[in-house]
Amino acid sequence: MILDGIHMKRESKSFTDALYTVLTAAGLFNGPKFMLSGLSGMAFKFSVHEKLLPFSVTAYGQWGQAHGPAIDNLGIYTGNDGGRTRHDSFAVYQQIAIDSVKQSLERGLACVYWIPEFGVIHGYDEDDRVFYVLDGWSQETRYVLYDNFGLNITPFWYCQFVGDKVDIPLREAVLESLRLALDDWKTPYRTLPDLSVASGRLAYSFLIRGLQQGDFDSRGAAYILESYLTSRSEICAYLQEVPSVLPGLAEVHRLYAELEALMREELSVSLPLVNTSRVLEHQRLPSLCITLQQALNLEEQAMQQIRLISGRYPDLKRSTLPRWGAHTAR
């Protein structure tokens, strides 16, 4: 069984690319990818490993906790399964997840799957016991044996399912996306107790310090910077699309547009395209670090403006205590 109309292309964060593929094919999202990236808050996520390792780009938190609110803000039902393959219970959860993926495909809904990075499961063959998977880099299908489901070069496995949709008013969705952005910005560590990966505001400091100290992964640094510029371009496009939804958004857009233009000009020299890959020019590191500091200052101003916008409206999701309390056993 292979679903028709599934075409994944890597352009954004891999999860955003995969989710966009799943939702548009199912008719659950209409619009450009930057709108999904913005409304979900995924565009605002920024994480950096202290050694600038390439996995930084997907190390923006516990995936279930990070992706759940992102998809919720699109008004779409979602569920996920995943964990660590070293757990004794992995084989049991693996079989349950395999059955869940097949059931989702039979309903006409593809699934997000950690390859790594994130890709899309768009079909299966019960006789050969394989899933058909797209990674977004090419349109050629990869094959994952049922027996190998969840097994990869990382210690993690993960898959995400989607379901029906409800309509959320655009103003409410935009406001919540800004609050998700604020949460990410002010949370320094999303992968506790690990302190080697920083998020939000602190991610800038990790990136600048890593570049200055010199002992960093050059390929990872290039990937982080390229992903960073892509996400800031998405934020600009998103904010340009919704400036009249909330008073004050035009100023936020102005600040991000200035940031994006500044970084695009710098990275055109510091991170030139050689053949088909971006390559970091090490002699440009002092200039790059200065520009990143300026970008940090601009994004800090943008977040201050977002904080003002958010403060004008009640925030029931964060101010209402759940019936049983925030941390009590249920």
pLDDT tens track, the chain, 330 positions: 999 989 999 999 999 999 999 999 999 999 999 999 999 999 999 999 999 999 999 999 999 999 999 999 999 999 999 999 999 999 999 999 999 999 999 999 999 999 999 999 999 999 999 999 999 999 899 999 999 999 999 999 999 999 999 999 999 999 999 999 999 999 999 999 999 999 999 999 999 999 999 899 999 999 999 999 999 999 999 999 999 999 999 999 999 999 999 999 999 999 998 888 889 999 999 999 999 999 999 999 999 999 999 999 998 888 776 666 555 555
d(Cα 199, Cα 205) in Å, to the nearest integer? 10
Domain match, 161 and 174 both: no
Identify the domain boundary among 131, 147, 165.
165
Burial grade of 92 (CB within 10 A; 0-12, 13-18, 19 or more): exposed
Domain match, 252 and 138 both: no
Q: Read out DSSP for 6-64?
A: -----SS-HHHHHHHHHHHHTTS--S-HHHHHHHTSGGG--EEETT--GGGGG-SS-HH
Q: What is the largest CA-CA distance in the chain?
A: 58
Q: Could you tell me the residue range of the domain that residue 147 belongs to? A: 1-30+76-165
Q: Indicate whether 10 belongs to any domain.
A: yes
Domain match, 209 and 125 both: no
Domain match, 144 and 248 both: no
Q: How many residues are listed for the chain in this entry?
A: 330
Nearest to 36 by CA among 237, 183, 179, 201: 237
- Domain tally, the chain: 2
d(Cα 138, Cα 17) in Å, to the nearest integer? 13
HEC profile of 199-211: EHHHHHHHHHHHH
Domain match, 85 and 153 both: yes
Domain match, 126 and 150 both: yes
- Rg of the chain taking only CA atoms, in angstroms: 20
Neighbours of 88 (CB within 10 A): 6
Q: Indicate whether 68 belongs to any domain.
A: no
Identify the domain boundary among 165, 181, 210.
165
Domain match, 225 and 175 both: yes
* Predicted model pTM: 0.93
Domain match, 309 and 204 both: yes
